[in-house]
């Protein structure tokens, strides 16, 4: 992911989907949300835990999102509150190797 490394530098990154290893293998400053596998955030409590993280000052500067799911689920059911937050508050920049890159705006989105 050479383009991503140039773009993010040492800023924090989270991955939405289930390929978190991509951040680690590419030497990114990986700062995952509490329930870091999207398909595991399926109860109200877990969904709200992740959403709260993204509304806090700990939210990562960059997000990589790959549309993927397991067990033939509808994608929109996986970590739905975080996905809604991202589409409202992050700016989508580009795509590389199947990941969409988003960046947190400079102003607070809490």
Q: What residue ranges do the domains of the chain occupy? A: 2-103
User: What is the value of pTM for the model shown?
Assistant: 0.86
User: Residue 69 pLDDT more than 80?
Assistant: no
The CB-based long-range contact list for 51-58 (8 Å cut-off, 24+ gap) reads 51/81, 51/82, 51/85, 54/82, 54/85, 54/86, 54/89, 55/85, 55/109, 55/110, 56/110, 57/108, 57/110, 58/31
The whole-number pLDDT of residue 60 equals: 96
The answer to whether the CB of 46 falls within 8 A of the CB of 82 is no
Query: Per residue in 13-45, pLDDT tens?
Result: 999 988 999 899 999 999 999 999 888 888 999
Region of poorest pLDDT, from 29-33, 57-61, 72-76, 99-103: 72-76
How confident is the model at residue 53, as a pLDDT?
A: 97
pLDDT of res. 107: 63
């Amino acid at each position: 992911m050479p383009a991503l490394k140039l773009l993010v530098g040492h800023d924090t990154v989270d991955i939405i989907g289930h390929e978190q290893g991509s951040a680690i293998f590419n030497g990114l400053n990986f700062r995952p949300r509490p329930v870091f596998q999207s398909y595991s955030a399926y109860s109200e409590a877990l969904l709200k835990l992740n959403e709260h993280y993204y509304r806090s000052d700990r939210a990562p500067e960059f997000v990589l999102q790959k549309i993927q799911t397991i067990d033939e689920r509808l994608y929109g059911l996986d970590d739905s509150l975080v996905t809604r937050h991202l589409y409202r508050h992050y700016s989508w920049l580009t795509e590389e190797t199947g990941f969409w890159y988003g960046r947190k705006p400079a102003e607070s989105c809490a």
